[in-house]
């Protein structure tokens, strides 16, 4: 079949009208091909979206079933009010608080490191560093993000803890402090990189507007650049918190496996993720109560991360700055 | 005695028969009827009815926020690309409603080209490929000779050929602002539209570049129907044959206040609002 002419010969007004109508209603062969291509792409896109949605539903389903079985044997009240977590002992207690406290404590320490350092690094890279310096420093910073977390775990256990012990003699071999510090270093590039992207997206004209009013560099950074990129910085921080709460290897290696309820960062504790590792590495029989506990803990972890993500989404929507 | 009208029609038909069957389309008119445009619940335009005469320049004027841009974006179905946007009423191109079911919006935009306020040549493409960008969408096979011919013809029509003929492989973004805008015009002309929409095409350009674009618009209206949105009264007076004056009231919905020939709008407007606007009392 020959291709139809791009522009048909046209003479009379009626012919012209006919020609326009034919062209607009897309009756040519190329139109059919284009429409087919569009619908194939559309279904491909829909399919890929569907796969991730289906996976999520699958995960939620598995978690819910096992969690449901768990709560048929252990009351939700106990889970939320008991202050001991001893499912592997003879005298069993199922209070989530020791695991939850440990998780939040180590994440808080990590954020205390990552947030100020990451923000300062982002400001330095985006506002102060020469393009040459930034092109050297940024890749180095990003190498940090590429280090496997197991390496960070042993770095905390074998380097940071002995180092800290010189200043804090009562520090235990496994402790939340060094795990948190190292975790902070691990998520620092995430905070720095995403915040820097947000700051770079602030248009130069806004900076110039402030300079034109007589602002100094520091004033421009603190009063224009940081507020304008706040939504991006908050998004980066919440992502970092999510990452810290879900982090597994560092805490499993350097923080210990002692589920105790304390806010003292110098002693061994056990996070939710570390507990899941501990049980899944052991020989807990499938379907036993001990086995079901990891799903209950996993559900709790999942809910926390979900709430954080929803929060960040709401926050972004409320504070989003849109630039041309 | 023969029927004079029939005789005339026959004569026309005979002339049409004798004339060479032209490849290139000549200018086409549009008819806008009861056109309303919405962004979600917000109504940006209310019941605009006006003709767009073939082979003439129609200027759309009015203060900021009166819906000028929305109006011309309805003429090539670009408005509906904004999420939540919709249109009621009809826009006919040579009598064919471009909003009727079965019409492919991509084809509408082929026949009704557009040039934007800020020159937007594709940054990754050369000048040559920028001109062909639209053509390649509609024609899968394009010989080298055909491509060369289209590029030269379009760049000549956009009065840019002499300036860029020696650097067709340079990126489009290497040109000056005025040249970039003429490249965008060449790109729009390359797909052989019937109507060319221009949304404040000179507001980002200096006076000399503006002058060249205005001169170009004069030449283009021999073959194309042009609708131009402009903030500049002098520009409208210089280039337009017809002028539509839009104004938005308290509720920010744009309405057509007056449509007439440019001469009458600028010398003897019927409505007081039009007079106030063109003499600088409002807007």
Nearest to B201 by CA among B53, B57, B39: B57
B102 to A25: CB separation less than 8 angstroms, yes or no: yes
- Cα dihedral value B127, B112, B269, B251, nearest 10: -100
In the predicted model, what is the mean pLDDT of residues A217-229?
91
Contacts for B17 with CB less than 8 Å, ≥ 6 apart: A11
Residue B255 has pLDDT above 50, yes or no: yes
Cβ A26–B103 below 8 Å, yes or no? yes
Q: A66: which residues sit within 8 A by CB, 6+ positions away?
A: A291, A292, A295, A296
Residues of B in contact with A13 (CB under 8 A): 94
Distance from CA of B22 to the nearest CA of A (A): 6
**Global pTM?**
0.71
Structural domain boundaries in chain A:
13-73, 97-319
A17 contacts on B by Cβ (under 8 Å): 94-96
Chain B residues touching residue A25 (CB < 8 angstroms): 102-104, 107
φ, ψ of residue A116 to 5 degrees: the values are -65, -45
Chain centre distance of CA B69: 11
For chain A, give the mean pLDDT.
87
Comparing C-alpha atoms, which of A183, A126, A11 is closest to residue B12?
A11
Q: With 0-12 CB in 10 A as exposed, 13-18 as middle and 19+ as buried, what is B190?
A: buried
> With respect to CATH, is domain A97-319 assigned 1.10.3720.10?
yes
- pLDDT at position B9 is 45
A12, A15, A20: best to mutate for the B interface, most B CBs within 10 A: A20
Using pLDDT thresholds of 50, 70 and 90, give the confidence band for residue A75.
confident
Domains annotated for chain B, with CATH where assigned, are 24-278 (3.40.50.300)
State pLDDT tens for residues A144-202: 888 999 999 999 999 999 999 999 999 889 999 999 999 999 999 999 998 998 898 88
Q: Do A9 and B140 touch (CB under 8 A)?
A: no
- What was the pLDDT predicted at B26? 66
Instruction: Write down the pLDDT at residue A175.
Output: 92
Test mutation, B108, B110, B138, chain A, max A CBs within 10 A? B138
Task: Give the other-Cβ count within 10 Å of A62's Cβ.
Answer: 12
Chain A residues touching B108 at Cβ < 8 A: 24
Is A161:A180 a contact under the CB 8 Å cutoff? no
pLDDT per position as a tens digit, B180-209: 988 999 999 998 888 999 999 888 888 888
Residue partners of A169: CB distance under 8 A and separation at least 6 = none
């Amino acid at each position: 079949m020959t291709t139809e002419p791009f522009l048909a010969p046209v003479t009379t007004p009626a012919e012209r009208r006919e020609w326009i109508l034919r062209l607009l209603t897309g009756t040519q062969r190329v139109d059919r091909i284009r429409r087919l291509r569009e619908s194939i792409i559309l279904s491909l896109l829909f399919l890929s979206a569907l796969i991730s949605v289906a996976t999520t539903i699958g995960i939620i389903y598995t978690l819910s079933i096992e969690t449901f079985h768990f709560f048929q044997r252990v009351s939700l009240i106990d889970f939320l009010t008991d202050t001991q977590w001893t499912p592997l002992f003879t005298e069993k207690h199922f209070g989530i608080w020791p695991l939850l406290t440990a998780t939040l404590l180590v994440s808080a320490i990590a954020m205390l490191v990552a947030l100020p350092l990451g923000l300062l690094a982002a400001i330095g890279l985006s506002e102060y560093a020469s393009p040459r310096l930034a092109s050297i420093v940024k890749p180095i910073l990003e190498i940090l993000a590429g280090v496997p977390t197991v390496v960070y775990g042993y770095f905390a256990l074998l380097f940071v803890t002995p180092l800290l012990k010189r200043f804090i003699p009562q520090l235990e071999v496994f402790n939340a402090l060094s795990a948190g510090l190292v975790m902070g270093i691990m998520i620092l590039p995430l905070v720095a990189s995403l915040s820097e992207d947000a700051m770079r997206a602030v248009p130069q004209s806004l900076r110039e507007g402030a300079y034109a009013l007589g602002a100094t560099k520091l004033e421009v950074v603190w009063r224009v650049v940081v507020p304008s990129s706040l939504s991006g910085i908050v998004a980066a921080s919440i992502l970092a918190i999510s990452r810290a709460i879900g982090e597994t290897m560092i805490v499993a290696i350097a923080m210990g496996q002692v589920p105790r309820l304390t806010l003292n960062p110098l002693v061994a504790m056990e996070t939710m993720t570390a507990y899941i590792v501990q049980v899944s590495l052991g020989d807990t029989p499938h379907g036993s109560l001990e086995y079901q506990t990891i799903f209950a803990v996993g559900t709790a972890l999942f809910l926390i991360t979900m709430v954080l993500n929803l929060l960040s989404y709401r926050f972004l929507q409320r504070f989003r700055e849109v630039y041309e | 005695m023969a029927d004079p009208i029939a005789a005339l029609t026959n004569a026309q038909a005979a002339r049409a028969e004798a004339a060479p069957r032209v490849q290139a389309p000549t200018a086409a008119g549009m008819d806008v009827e009861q056109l309303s445009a919405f962004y979600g619940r917000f109504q940006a335009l209310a019941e605009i009815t006006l003709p767009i005469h073939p082979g003439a320049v129609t200027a759309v004027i009015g203060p900021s926020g009166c819906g000028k841009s929305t109006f011309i974006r309805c003429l090539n179905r670009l408005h509906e690309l904004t999420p939540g946007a919709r249109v009621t009423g009809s826009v006919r191109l040579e009598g064919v409603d471009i909003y009727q079911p079965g019409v492919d919006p991509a084809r509408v935009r082929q026949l009704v080209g557009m040039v934007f306020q800020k020159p937007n040549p594709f940054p990754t493409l050369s000048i040559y490929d920028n001109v062909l960008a639209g053509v390649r969408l509609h024609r899968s096979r394009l010989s080298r000779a055909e491509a060369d011919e289209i590029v030269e013809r379009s760049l000549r029509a956009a009065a840019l050929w002499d300036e860029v003929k020696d650097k067709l492989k340079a990126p489009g973004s290497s040109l000056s602002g005025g040249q970039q805008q003429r490249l965008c015009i060449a790109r729009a002309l390359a797909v052989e539209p019937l109507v060319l929409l221009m949304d404040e095409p000179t507001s980002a350009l200096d006076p000399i570049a503006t002058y060249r674009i205005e001169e170009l618009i004069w030449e283009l209206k021999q073959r194309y129907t042009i609708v131009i949105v402009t903030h500049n009264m002098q520009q409208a007076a210089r280039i337009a044959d017809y002028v539509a004056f839009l104004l938005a009231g308290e509720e920010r919905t744009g309405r057509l206040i007056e449509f007439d020939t440019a001469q009458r709008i600028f010398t003897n407007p019927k409505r007081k609002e039009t007079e106030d606007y063109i003499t600088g009392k409002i807007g």
